[in-house]
Structure 1
Amino acid sequence: MSLAHSSAASTSSAIPSPKGARNAKFAEFSTQALLPITSRPDLVFTHGKGGWLYDHDGKRYLDFIQGWAVNSLGHCHPVMRDALATQSGMLLNPSPAYYNVPMIELADLLAKLSGLGKVFFANSGAEANESAIKLARKWGQLHPNASGGARFEIITFKNAFHGRTLATMSASGKPGWDTIFAPQVPGFPKADLNDIASVEALIGPDTVAVMLEPIQGEAGVVPATEAFLKALRALTKARGLLLIVDEVQTGCGRTGTLFSHQQAGIVPDIMTLGKGIGGGVPLAAMLCGDEFAVFQPGDQGGTYNGNPLMCAVGLAVMRTVSAPGFLEFVRAQADYLSAGLQHLSSRYGGEGERGAGLLRALLLGRDIGPQLVEAAREMTPDGLLLNSARPNLLRFMPALNVSRDEIDQMLSMLDALLAKHV
């Protein structure tokens, strides 16, 4: 593992760039019209290619966030550009009340790849998870408890993240989310990840399903163990409960297999996909086994669900990710990145690294994550885009086709940052 600077990174350092001229240029773009839902730095991205983003001042940034695991193939990959260009000249949105060719082809491909026979397309991971919750509750109405009551409770997990609708926020276990838009949607008792006894203790007459992420991404890349996933699958089958796996962040090749749960050798009853399935366009999906497809016409829908423009891109992405050799490449790059992060952890007294595939976290051993993110962005001549899901760690979500040179450059830049801040 080489931590030497590549030629592109040889002049990079942790020295912030002069801000005066850059701020003056940024002022040309300033607006008061956008609702302030996040703290954005004073830069405007104008274009991207592969692993790189470019801002209004011409500065480039090595992107190891990639839209929070969204850009499976990096920025503006040719197969996505071609799919958008071709489909945009044919048909954009005939209405979800009718079939279209990309919708049919992508649904068939997902069913074949997952073993789950039915597919519902949505626009975001939260919408896909909302659909899974609705489907489980509908199934619970059709399969009531011993007293004849509809089953509606879905056991979820502390520190989980399932989206930002009222129902998916209620299903999430993110600290503090129970009061932001109170009252919550009821019916989501919280268990402890990797503690099967805590799940079993919550099962009651109203329980219809258990829902979890194979790796809790927002919690800091915290994996469910293989033993826990196997035990959970056995428990849900034994108790007549649905198992819902939220693969919004982990699916579509992110963890080195098409779907993360496959590494535990289990098959869920319902699975949700988002982020990587569209490679950067708004696309998501909820899949279920044929026997759980209990929606009736009118139960679920959406104006843009399954529109051919997004499905054409998703089809191009999924064909690329599932092509022979692609996942082997992802796993090889993941091993290389993991080894490099382990080296930096040992060098700077960290607490190791964890994750699967190209969803990884570096445990810093101290709460300096946000400072490192800001310092990385301000490096010159090239910036580095990182994420700190928790103050004591950094999360890495590069494109699945990230190169060894890009990994080396990121490690070299991170080395310089750690040398200054640790």
Structure 2
Amino acid sequence: MSHVLSTYARFPVTLVRGEGTRVWDDAGKSYLDFCTGIAVCSLGHCPPRLVHAIREQAGTLLHVSNLYGIPQQEELARVIVEDHVKLPGKVFFANSGAESNDGLIKTARKFGHARPQLDGSPRYEVLSFTKSFHGRTLGGINATGQDKVKEGFDPLLPGFRHLPFNDLAALEAAIRPETAAVLLEPVQGEGGVNVATPAFLRGVAALCKKHDVLLLLDEVQTGFGRCGPTMAWRAIAPEIQPDAISWAKGMGGGFPIGAFWLSDRAVDATGKALSSLMGPGSHGTTYGGNPLACAASLAVLEEVVEMDLPANVARQEQRIREIIASWQLPVITEVRGVGLLLGIGLDVSQFAVPEGKLPAAFVCGKLLEAGLLVPPAGPETIRLLPPLNVTDEEVDEALAIFRATLSSLVTDH
């Protein structure tokens, strides 16, 4: 009997070892891993640079409180601001994407007090979008535009509304005096791999500026190379300038770390910076940004840049799209996404699904049996999330398994 809470519908496999793009279960069977911990293991499993950084730092200093200076934290913040965001600002380190998004929500509330409504009452509302996913804390589920994550957790927190994604007119009509921020994912991962259009992202940025509303980007799944450019919004509308960004997942390569960045832009006539609104006592964490986590993340981000992994991501995306298109399989409706955050849409009428199972999860189970790990993204979409350094041979092998499995399902129908 397991003593672990049953909050996951787990696939019937227990993984015990990993190397590169492969993992092995407790029976010795190997799998190609195109799930990577849901876009977490950005360099694959046990990459030498990351393993060395963790071992070295673990033998020097694991943890100290944020009451004291942490050199690795300062260096990681500098690298993120100067080499990746490339806009003036400051970084707060957390442990997960949900925590990072809660930081964005708290920032929006702080901003709403600093820039109140005309009658002096604070602004507090955060607008987000249907099919979004922003974490499983109370703040995260209220920001998320999916009802299923909120069931049984009433009463919901006030101050959130959800609008149709990629509908600029709906957003413009929705902004009210109490609106403080707009929160969105450049590519919705959990919601089905839905990409913000360039026109929508540019329009959102313009509306935020027009109405003095913060533009908050959730790059928890998309950031640091997953979509090609290390900041995913630059793959879509590179000229926009967000006010805040959240990250986690791939920035640690498998080691738990999250972060959010706040712009240094002025929020009042005195020149007070947005990044200064969260002062001492306003936000905190025990573990966030400790020496071990920051050493791990520095190793990952250095590898991403030095090996030019964004170039490999762009090339592999193109190869995957071309190979899948060449199959001309009617069961595949489309390939959505950017970089190596790709969603394969399925025509679920073309294969039989056992009663009580969601089609995408059923197909993921069949792919697992064939030796390929991939996660679903909604009921009719399969996600491909290989490591950013995945090779041509590994992509070819994974796609061959994918094609054979889908063809078999359709033939058996």
Q: Normalised by the size of structure 1, how large is the TM-score?
A: 0.90
Partner of 1:12: none
Instruction: Give the Cα–Cα distance (whole angstroms) in 1 for the partners of residues 297 and 149 of structure 2.
Output: 31
Counterparts of residues 373-392 of structure 1 (less than 5 Å): 373-379=364-370, 383-392=371-380
Which of 90, 103, 112 lines up with 2:73 in the alignment? 103
Partner of 2:284: 301
Matched pairs, number: 388
Counterparts of residues 318-397 of structure 1 (less than 5 Å): 318-323=301-306, 325-344=308-327, 346-366=328-348, 368-379=359-370, 383-397=371-385
Partner of 1:409: 397
Which of 48, 52, 59 lines up with 2:18 in the alignment? 48
Name the structure, 1 or 2, with higher relative contact order (CA <8 Å, separation 6+).
1
Residue 349 of structure 1, CA deviation: 4.0
Partner of 1:243: 215
Which of 137, 156, 159 lines up with 2:128 in the alignment? 156
Q: Which has the higher mean CA deviation after the structures are superposed, 317-326 or 291-300? A: 317-326
Instruction: Give the Cα–Cα distance (whole angstroms) in 2 for the partners of residues 342 and 299 of structure 1.
Output: 51
Counterparts of residues 5-84 of structure 1 (less than 5 Å): 31-84=1-54
Residue 323 of structure 1, CA deviation: 2.5
* 1:267 paired to 2:258: no
Q: Which has the higher mean CA deviation after the structures are superposed, 242-251 or 257-266? A: 257-266
2:348 alignment partner, SS class:
coil
Residue 99 of structure 1, CA deviation: 1.3
1:387 alignment partner, SS class:
coil
1:347 alignment partner, SS class:
coil
Instruction: Give the Cα–Cα distance (whole angstroms) in 2 for the partners of residues 377 and 147 of structure 1.
Output: 58
1:151 alignment partner, SS class:
coil
Instruction: Give the Cα–Cα distance (whole angstroms) in 1 for the partners of residues 170 and 407 of structure 2.
Output: 42
Instruction: Give the Cα–Cα distance (whole angstroms) in 2 for the partners of residues 419 and 411 of structure 1.
Output: 12
Residue 98 of structure 1, CA deviation: 1.1
Partner of 1:230: 202
Residue 326 of structure 1, CA deviation: 2.4
Q: Normalised by the size of structure 2, how large is the TM-score?
A: 0.92
- Mapped contact 1:154–1:188 kept (Cα < 8 A): yes
* 1:146 paired to 2:118: yes
Deviations 1:32-83 (A, max 9, x none): 2111111223332111001011011110111110000011100010111011
Partner of 1:92: 62
The residue type paired with residue 341 of structure 2 is L
User: Gaps (5+ residues) in structure 2?
Assistant: 265-272, 350-358
Residue 258 of structure 1, CA deviation: 0.5
1:119 alignment partner, SS class:
strand
The residue type paired with residue 341 of structure 1 is I
- Mapped contact 2:331–2:406 kept (Cα < 8 A): no
Residue 177 of structure 1, CA deviation: 3.1
Residue 175 of structure 1, CA deviation: 2.8
Partner of 2:298: 315
- Mapped contact 1:159–1:175 kept (Cα < 8 A): no
| Root-mean-square deviation over aligned CA pairs | 1.2
Which of 143, 147, 161 lines up with 1:171 in the alignment? 143
Q: Which has the higher mean CA deviation after the structures are superposed, 308-317 or 92-101? A: 92-101
Which of 160, 164, 169 lines up with 1:188 in the alignment? 160
Which of 388, 399, 402 lines up with 2:387 in the alignment? 399
